[in-house]
Structure 1
Amino acid sequence: MNSLALRGGAGVAFKPVHFDALLANPGRVDFIEVHAENYFGEGGLLHAQLAELRRHLPLSVHGVGLSLGGSERLDSQHLQRLKELCLRYEPALVSEHLAWSSHAGEYLGDLLPLAYNHVSLERVAGRVQHLQEYLGRQILIENPAAYLRLAESDMPEVEFIRQLCHRTGCGLLLDLNNLLVSCHNCGGDPSRYLAELPAEQVGEVHLAGHARVALPRGELLLDEHGSAVADATWSLYVEWLVLAGARPSLIEWDRQLPAWSVLAAEVDCARALQCNPYMPACGGGASA
């Protein structure tokens, strides 16, 4: 297995429909990423495909259901399955969301917001530290897409993240699409956010598309992962590269999947910008 640490390059969120294209030319991307929960079973076609691709490519495992921002104890079965998955495939990166998604034993099927205050910080830091100790590795925490700010919040999201990194030593998965969505919907300056982020803790970057919804009081951006990377996201990616340099960067496209050539072209854009962020911008997606 290729278990070299990822320090740059560009990859895709693996979907079985693209298995043949990836296997025919695995060097077309630098790594693949999968949602952890899709691989909690022990066998089947999904595992057979992932095992074959893992022979050629580094892997990032991205969790979506651990509910790190929740108020209850982390699910012991979920933790065990995640640990077994990591032991089985030796991923270069493992990440989870700064959000909650379950309560009273019920999975709610969404990534829900938490209040950014010292009470939440203590709780989330303890859960992140427990997760890292359980897996025996650093975890990357992803900034969420926000549609509202809770009244109980008394610190900016970026300050919450800074303190979380300081207390736990966790890394960050910087989702630039989420950052744009949150700043548009809730107010905020993406450039200032990047400047205040602990850049040295960022271990991966996500690039994705978003949708627009017209509302009586304005326009809402939705993090929907069903379209090309937005022009504004490419522009923010350039800003990040100039500020902090290359990180493993993922094209995240989870629904209304395009032809493989479309995904591969976006990988090429990310790679090219890592080599020269001053080149003409990639684009073709919607603008924020």
Structure 2
Amino acid sequence: MIVDCQPFWLHFGFVWPPSFNFFWFVKDGCGIVCATFTWILIIYAQFVVITVLLHPSPYTNHALFNGVLFEILSTLAMVSHFRAMFSDPGAVPRGNATPECMEKMNFKTDKILYKCPKCVSIKPERAHHCSICQRCIEKMDHHCPWVNNCVGERNLKYFVLFTFYICLMSCHVIYMSGFHFFSCISTRLSGSCFNFTPAITSFLMMMLFVESLLFGLFTCIMCISQMSAILNDETGIEQLKRDKTKYCRTSRVKNLKRVFGSKISFAWISPFHTSNATEISLDNNMYII
């Protein structure tokens, strides 16, 4: 059994369990396939948008503007996905529920602690055990196969931004598809609107439209759901269990600041900015029930 006596809040950045301390990656076959498929869909959208919708367009300025905008949105979505996938979601160290570890962590013997029997760890309040990650996750919302990771305290911002930018990308693609289709018909420039044969072009556009419609609807619903949970300071698991546990709730503004950043700024919508939860400083009372 691997024993890690360090408090979980000292595990910043990336962690690869169990032998490395600088990289986090969940070795789940289904999750790896789903996450890879997500990147394939984004790359496919980039290919079709550039080669089918924008490059043959007779409206140069319109194509240039939308091309730049789409690349910005897709880059932000991919960075958000990368950080959600490879960020420690708030994992509690395995095997720290031993007398030796508790003594090093300066726990008082008269305090009541909850210990997870599955990963043999001291379980903080509102933490849940993930059978796929095989760890207890602080404020775990759910395990998402599309990012091959749990969505928890430390990577919630990146997951929300990923759904947000995928939703914007999908809406943008639907607009560009409609504009390209109707502009080619109305101007009777159909011959100059194709880089490929009409059959191939129609197939590529149809696949892109269906992809954008399905994933746009899914990510929009997911983004709204996550934002509602953040505002109410309630995780997905707590909503499903209808957990009425009385814990200290803060205002909605403070809930947003805790996830996205201490100051209201454009950093809230930047996946390059590290959220407060990643840098959170806690004490041993978080383990006490």
Q: TM-score range by the shorter chain?
A: under 0.3
Higher helix fraction: Structure 1 or Structure 2?
2
Q: Which has the higher contact order (CA 8 A, sep 6+)?
A: 2
Higher strand fraction: Structure 1 or Structure 2?
1
Structure with max Cα Rg? 2
